[in-house]
Amino acid sequence: MQRRVLKLAALLLAAMTGCSQQSPAPRTASVAGTVSANGKPVNDAKITFHFESGDFWGAKVAEGRFSTQGLPVGQAKVCVESESTEVPAHWTTPEDSPLTIFINAAEQIPLTIDLTGNGFEVGAAPQPAETKTMTIGK
């Protein structure tokens, strides 16, 4: 009797394990690029991507370069803060940021930002400073 119960338990466990479905991994992207002000690389700064979900991802900016991985697919406001470089106030909060990006690709995405009003580039496409939303990726 005890043997039957053990066999039945083992069969049930095997069936439950075999029937479980794994959900696909969420799509993510990597973003890397440069941040400059007045044509000079920004140092000792941080760049932050604020998503509509309330999540945010950030990276240090050193010698004008940054890189971050694992960003979810979705819309995000881009903010920059620095201790050593004067950053225009509108770049420091998600509410005022002039740049909204929509990440929709699971790949490395280049992003170039000039904080002094000359605009930004996503990939190889320069965008004027007044551009507010940009889709990056495929």
Q: What would the pLDDT profile of 87-112 be if each residue is shown by its tens digit? A: 888 889 999 888 888 877 666 777 88
Looking at the domain assignment, is residue 37 inside a domain? yes
Please report whether residue 5 resides in a domain.
no
**In a domain? residue 6:** no
Q: Are 100 and 75 in contact (CB under 8 A)?
A: yes
| Residue 131 structural domain | 28-136
CATH code of residue 48: 2.60.40.10
pLDDT at 115: 82
| Domain tally, the chain | 1
- Put simply, whether the predicted model's pTM sits higher than 0.85 gets the answer no
Q: What is the pLDDT of residues 31-46, one digit of tens each?
A: 888 998 888 888 889 9
The confidence score (pLDDT) of residue 38 equals 81
